[in-house]
Amino acid sequence: MIVGYCQNTADLNPRAVISWMRPGSLAILLAVIPAAAMPGPLDEPHLNIIPRTVSEQVRIDKILSPPADFSVAQPFEEMPAGAATVRARDTADAFSQPSANMPFADELDFKVGNGLFRKLWVSSPSSTLASDGLGPLFNARSCQRCHLKDGRGHPPEGPDDNAISMFLRVSIPGGDPGAMAEIADYIATAPEPTYGTQLQDFSLPGHAAEYRLQIEYEDVTVALSDGEVATLRRPTYTAADLGYGPLHDEAMLSPRVAPQMIGLGLLEAIPAADILAHTDPNDDDGDGISGRANIVWSAEFDMPMLGRFGLKAGAPTVRHQSAGAFAGDIGISNPLFTDPWGECTSRQSDCRAAPHGDRDDRVYEIDGEGLDLVTFYSRNLAVPARRDVDDRQVLRGKELFHATGCASCHVPSYVTHRLEDQPEQSFQLIWPYTDLLLHDMGDGLADHRPEARATGREWRTPPLWGIGLTEQVSGHSYFLHDGRARSLLEAILWHGGEAQATRDAVIDMPAGDRAALIRFLESL
């Protein structure tokens, strides 16, 4: 058994992980990076890690063992973010609180980061020199416009609603496979020649928006046990009113709703080795679950890294994810994505030639300091405390969650790295209910658009913490990557592929057990 985590993972002997990793996990380490660069997926250069001791690892193994008694709550279960957990508020601000263990000296950074997250960007040139650079094509004028109250976005509700917290990613097959030769099973794609990698539905005056998102739903009924019936809605997406000509014949579109923002720094602090320990690409243990790691190229460190963030785990760090959103969603240049015109392609020449916020006295529209402050804010949006952990129905639902196999992908708990300079995330027992891995979710949820190693049928397991507060925070109960599910039950019923057996078990269980399972999820 490995007894510590090396800060320099080049010193880690991959053979030492055989005894403690899930079957097939070592194969991931051997496959995703060539031997000369082994073990690349474990590299975490963005973290200042203090290795664990032998006694700490023993304690961790004990506390993370699966529950044996479902008549009582587990120790510390009511604190999903460890010492960073905040009390559960009954307002829409429940997701907008700083980590409870944040040092007082850092609270100003959190508040300034919040200001930048909420800032409304304006077009160039402008007298507000610190806020110009918007677009010219964009999906929103601020981070907050998509992640309203730091919560979950939603698809447009009727003809009078816009898609400000939802957009379509786009790409075409092909690209340069040699560019990612270091990553095994990488699926090469290329930006759509005219529209880039995502479609923007807003634009500055004088520029056409790229499209209008059009969604049509078809009702699908599902018969449940005890005479109950659920109605799902199957969406069809159309990029209507294209502003720059037709899409490429092989364009692949993928709908994305903005996810909630809580707990991101804690997810980033989970040891990569602990995530890879749950991989089983060949289902060697025969449980039907074949979690795979997405290995992506880091724009921050110019190397392959474990993907953790985004609906297909396409970003390795919170800073990378934040920088990508500034560039793609708002059209704001930054140290990682430097184009001042954002997503405008070479075919959109007027867009590229328009005024922008990069000037002699300002290299990027948001500089490194500003990006770091937004990253700090995003890392430290706190997870609210669990509710009703001792309730009998909640405990029954938790037992069913484990018995039906939900916990195979929605792994309940981890202990984060011990970190030198991030006290909020350092050595915390957390309960995010995710493995951060890719899983085949079946034809029903397939978008048929690859992303790095993720196929068109695979999605990252989303964290479940805070999911019971979605309606309170976001004003709706829409779930899954595109918001098609209008309830937690509908979200479960859309599960297929690796989760088909679990879905069928939920359909067949007595109605009272289904209610208990939903009650447990609502307590998270």
Q: Which token pair is 199?
A: 């479609």
pLDDT, position 184: 86
| Percent of the chain predicted with pLDDT > 70 | 92
For the stretch 75-96, pLDDT in tens is 999 999 999 999 999 999 999 9
- Long-range CB contacts for residues 12-16, cutoff 8 Å, separation at least 24: 12/39, 12/42, 14/38, 14/39
> Phi and psi of 187, rounded to 5°?
-100, 110
Q: How confident is the model at residue 41 (pLDDT cuts 50, 70, 90)?
A: low
User: Comparing C-alpha atoms, which of 432, 433, 427, 402 is closest to residue 415?
Assistant: 427
User: Comparing C-alpha atoms, which of 374, 475, 362 is closest to residue 119?
Assistant: 374
Q: How confident is the model at residue 38 (pLDDT cuts 50, 70, 90)?
A: very low
Sequence-separated (6 or more) residues with CB below 8 Å from residue 242: 210, 211
User: What helix, strand, coil percent values describe the chain, rounded to 5?
Assistant: 30, 15, 55
Number of C-beta neighbours around residue 499 at 10 A: 26
pLDDT, position 40: 57
Name the residue with tokens 């995502």: 198
Number of C-beta neighbours around residue 497 at 10 A: 20
Report the distance separating Cα 107 and Cα 111, nearest Å: 6
Query: Longest Cα pair distance anywhere in the chain, in angstroms?
Result: 70
Over range 433-439, report the average pLDDT: 98
Collapsed DSSP state (helix, strand, coil) of residue 430: strand
pLDDT, position 475: 95
For the stretch 95-142, pLDDT in tens is 999 999 999 999 999 999 999 999 999 999 888 878 899 999 999 999
Examine the pLDDT at 2 and tell me if it is beyond 60.
no
For the stretch 214-223, pLDDT in tens is 999 999 999 9
pLDDT, position 8: 32
**Are 237 and 260 within 8 A, CB to CB?**
no
Mean pLDDT (the chain, rounded): 91
Cα dihedral 196→201→202→206 (10° resolution)? 70
Examine the pLDDT at 413 and tell me if it is beyond 90.
yes
Report the distance separating Cα 331 and Cα 315, nearest Å: 18
Least confident of 74-83, 286-295, 356-365, 473-482: 356-365
The angle, 0 to 180 degrees and rounded to 10, between the axes of the packed helices 107-118 and 368-379 is 110
**Are 158 and 373 within 8 A, CB to CB?**
no
**On the CB side of 284, how many CA atoms lie within 13 Å of its CA?**
13
For the stretch 299-320, pLDDT in tens is 999 999 999 999 999 999 999 9
Q: How confident is the model at residue 343 (pLDDT cuts 50, 70, 90)?
A: very high
pLDDT, position 106: 97
Examine the pLDDT at 19 and tell me if it is beyond 80.
no
User: Comparing C-alpha atoms, which of 258, 367, 273, 380 is closest to residue 318?
Assistant: 380
Examine the pLDDT at 161 and tell me if it is beyond 90.
no
Collapsed DSSP state (helix, strand, coil) of residue 422: coil
Where is pLDDT greater, at 413 or 128?
Answer: 413
Sequence-separated (6 or more) residues with CB below 8 Å from residue 365: 121, 132, 133, 326, 332, 333, 334, 340, 356, 357, 358
Host H or E run for residue 275: helix 272-276
pLDDT, position 157: 85
User: Comparing C-alpha atoms, which of 346, 495, 401 is closest to residue 77?
Assistant: 401
- DSSP alpha helix (H) spans, 413-474: 470-474
User: Comparing C-alpha atoms, which of 520, 495, 482 is closest to residue 230?
Assistant: 495
